[in-house]
């Protein structure tokens, strides 16, 4: 799979990524670096600890990465979680349930990105 097919498969916007990063090789370089970004893992672990402040920070960081790489589908799902955490009270069950409900689509979209990155042609970079 090439980088354009990757964006088609994952619901991203290759042209927007190109406008931002200017070169196809640069887009692919940063896409390949995405699995190393710790934001998703930090989001998951802080949610498990009920640490809303740090979970929000991690979600907001992940949202920025997705925006910069034009991962449109993942951006939308992480934005939903970010906004649910923005004013969440860890002592209010409904706030935490809302964030947890948003995590399922985010997990699926994240997994889809990671699996597609693994399918990128290693010869292209």
User: What are the extents of the domains in the chain?
Assistant: 3-124
* pLDDT at residue 95, as a whole number: 87
- Considering the domain delimited by 3-124, tell me its CATH architecture: Up-down Bundle (1.20)
Residues 106-117 have pLDDT tens digits of 999 999 999 999
Q: What is the pLDDT of residue 93?
A: 87
pLDDT of residue 122: 78
Angle (CA) 17-30-48 rounded to 5° is: 105
pTM assigned to the model:
0.92
| Structure confidence by residue, pLDDT tens digits, 24-77 | 999 999 999 999 999 999 999 999 999 999 999 999 999 999 999 999 999 999
List pLDDT tens digits, range 1-23: 999 999 999 999 999 999 999 99
């Amino acid at each position: 799979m090439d980088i354009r097919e990757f964006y088609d498969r994952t619901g991203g916007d290759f042209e927007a990524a190109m406008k931002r990063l200017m070169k196809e090789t640069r887009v692919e370089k940063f896409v390949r670096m995405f699995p190393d970004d710790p934001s998703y893992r930090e989001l998951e672990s802080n949610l498990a600890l009920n640490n809303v402040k740090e979970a929000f920070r991690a979600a907001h960081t992940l949202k920025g990465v997705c925006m910069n790489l034009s991962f449109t589908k993942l951006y939308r799902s992480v934005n939903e979680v970010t906004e649910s955490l923005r004013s969440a009270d860890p002592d209010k069950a409904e706030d935490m349930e809302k964030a947890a409900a948003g995590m399922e689509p985010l997990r699926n979209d994240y997994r889809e990105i990671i699996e597609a990155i693994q399918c990128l042609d290693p010869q292209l970079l």
